[in-house]
Amino acid sequence: MAIPRPLVLCVAVVLCILVLGGGHHHKDKIKDAVSKRRGVITTARRSRFKRVVSFGDSLSDAGNGAWLFTNKTWPKDGAYVGHRFTNGPVFTEYVAQTLRVPLISYATGGASISYRVSSRSGEHGMMPVDCIFEQIKKYSEGKTDESDTLFILYAGANDAYFALDEGGTPAEVVDDLKTAVKNLQKIGGQYIIIPTLPPIGENYPYANALPEAAPLMYFFSTELRKQYMEWAKKETKVAIADFYNLFNRLMGTPEKYGFKREYLKVGCIAHNCKDDWREFIWFDDYHPTTYVHSLMAEESLDALDKVLRPSHRVW
């Protein structure tokens, strides 16, 4: 016997309602689970740490580094907000803000990781500053239990830059980095975020002026990332924030992030960083804008989440 057509339509409608309703319910359950997981991770972050301590160079200089070492002469341009090397907060500040803890920053523009190569800053790059080893030494004095501190250690860019004239290899930077981590562990440090370098060289605005330096800088940052990744497999509480991959994504698909492709190799400071600064990746020839710093902070926190809760994927 044939089923009446209206009945078929009625059954179909009921089934659609059930399927779609169930689908929405399923999506809501997934959304709730993701939100709950994020909440757990955020709580884990905030309950775990009482402070963020940063060591590094101009990419993480929060305005109290090179400015003080150069007797308040560098950076002198007012576009460098708060004496940072960008137009707003740097990524370490965003990390501390997210965790709702204070930031203690020793990062100084011009710093190399050790004194294998120069560690200097200033308008003409001739004023000595503390290398990262020295930054760690100063912070460590008298401390024995830093288990509730989140350390951020960014290094290698100036080692690559000064290596053009003074020599130096990625392997030496990694060796020094291992020593720096051991020194932090000696005072009870447990969790350390170590970002890779961006793919410096060909993608930087300064490569337009120094094209001969770009290939070596690119090799240095690429090889350094490779060695970081291999070493980090043995360090369960070291979080590698992959800035190299982040910048490749930003440069490869700039429109996805609201950047203009024609601005990829120019800093917004060349345009006086006016209302369109958000369309630039770069602030000047070497440093990204504060918006990109916020993306770097997200990359850093994602890396930290994987270390804090390795059995959970962060959605």
Pairing mode, strands 120-121 and 149-153:
unpaired
Residue 279: per-residue pLDDT:
95
Residue 189: per-residue pLDDT:
96
For the chain, which domains are there? 51-308 (3.40.50.1110)
Residue 207: per-residue pLDDT:
75
Residue 213: per-residue pLDDT:
81
Tens-digit pLDDT string for the chain (315 aa): 444 444 333 334 333 333 334 444 433 433 343 344 445 556 666 678 999 999 999 999 999 999 999 999 999 888 999 999 999 999 999 999 999 999 999 999 999 999 888 888 878 778 899 999 999 999 999 999 999 999 999 999 999 888 777 878 899 999 999 999 999 999 999 999 999 999 987 677 877 767 888 888 889 999 999 999 999 888 888 999 999 999 999 999 999 999 999 999 899 998 878 888 999 999 998 999 999 999 999 999 999 999 987 644 343
What lies within 8 Å, CB to CB, of 293 at 6+ separation is 86, 88, 89, 90, 91, 93, 94
